[in-house]
Structure 1
Amino acid sequence: MSTTPTSPPSPTTPGTPGPPGTATGAGRAHAAPPRQRVLAQARFEVGSLLRNGEQLLVSLVLPAMALVGLHLSTAPSLGPGDRTALAVAGVVALCVVSAAFTSQAIATGFDRRYAVLRYLGVTPLGRGGLVAAKVLATLAVEVVQIALIAALGLALGWRPPVAGLAYAVLFVVLGTWAFVALALLLAGTLRAEAVLAVANLVWVVLLAVGGVVVPRTELPAGVSHVIGLLPSAGLGDGLRSALVAGELNLSALLVVLGWAGVATALAARLFRFDD
């Protein structure tokens, strides 16, 4: 494959601005403030997601279809209480798991493989800024997802208890923290192909028996207490308590917080920016 030769750069006369970000005789370019760098990277990641048709299908269309299907059907059992409210809570939990864990793990795993993380890590953005941008981008995507699910739920007759809305926001934020940390732990320790397989497998397992959409109390006897220790069950139980009963589920909160703390510590210790 032939390449087009490039001419050597022409000298820059004093006082004449050079290419963006380069030093000139008139002065030096400065990096943007940390907050601006993080927000710019977060906007880039959100834009990349919203331009991806496959990700839009997984992030918006499938959760909406799941909510309508659960509303119209009687199976699987969602436990006692208003079925539409239980379905909304479960689908919101599913949105958090999908956006914060599955999508982030796969995206980060392939960014790591193609050295994107390594290059961004040595820019003014820094490694901490990169992680912060990923968390903000995930929360932004979840806002769009949850707004769609909430609007659809209201159209189907869901009337959330006002007292529980703040508790629901708390669980969404803490659940995002826990699952982004788990995603980074996975993506930072395995090769990209393994991350792709494991992230999708975990998503399927959590959806089926992780207490996300179907409450753990509706699963076979003898496993509900074990399932209750999973971050997915803690998130699902917390959102159901908030959006159905308007209550704060303290035990579920402790489960999610525990996973967030442990996963963050492990990711900080084991994450490798190079594949």
Structure 2
Amino acid sequence: MSDSLNSPSPTDWVLTLSCVDGPGIVHAISGAIVAAGGNITESQQFASVDTGRFFMRLEVEQVTDQATFEAALAPVTERYDMTWRLDVVGRPVRTLILASTATHCVNDLLYRKRGGQLPIEVPLVLSNHQTVRDITEFNGVPFEHLPIASPADKAAFEARVLEAVAEHDIELVVLARYMQILSPELCEALSGMAINIHHSFLPGFKGANPYKQAHRRGVKLIGATAHFVTTDLDEGPIIEQDVVRVDHSQSPAELVALGQDEESRTLRRAVTWYAQNRILLDGDRTIIFR
């Protein structure tokens, strides 16, 4: 048997990093990768003039284990005081989905996941209503229902969220139209790892029936916003937004259908980019390496 057949296959790694901007960063990190025997197959970078920070995402072909590769990168990451992460390209991210009565986002995520189009693994869907049970179980995902009818119920639900995060080694929590406001304590616990989706009318048309409100006002654009969850309600760093043009001929029900389609599509993109390590935080905004 030839040596090429006996030799280990290379692993495709994704490296993301950020640090204070300055000269020599790209040269230093590239040199460390080459010295470790790595081959850079994709590279994107951005220097923020607003915050003075540098951001980079690389995909690297390398024949080694993660600990060895991290050790090779350590001198450079320490020299520039980098915040960084090394992961395997395409590794499914362990994701907890929170839901309520709306089915469209849960259905889209589980369908794409089942078809291999979304790089996530979903060990649990947790909901305060039974509505998404059939969709969840059809896709072979465990479903858990915890009703919320009182403050004590809400506290129990949030405690179960944290328990599930620890139990299943969750890396991402998706609020797939979960219609409960998270407590500040849970927001802090899930900082940087929880994504929410909602219609794009905010801060206008708050409360119940936003599409009816929008229809009465004759809006010409509707859409959706996906963002990280923070203690400031619906004001976390924006990951993705999308819109569709509408006119006077569309009924409120048609606006809802169009809006739900945009919500599903926008949330799917945000989850995909998170799972692919394409999102880096720059203060109150995000850097997206598409």
Q: TM-score, normalised on structure 1?
A: 0.25
Q: Which has the higher contact order (CA 8 A, sep 6+)?
A: 1
| Structure with a larger share of its residues in helix | 1
| Structure with a larger share of its residues in strand | 2
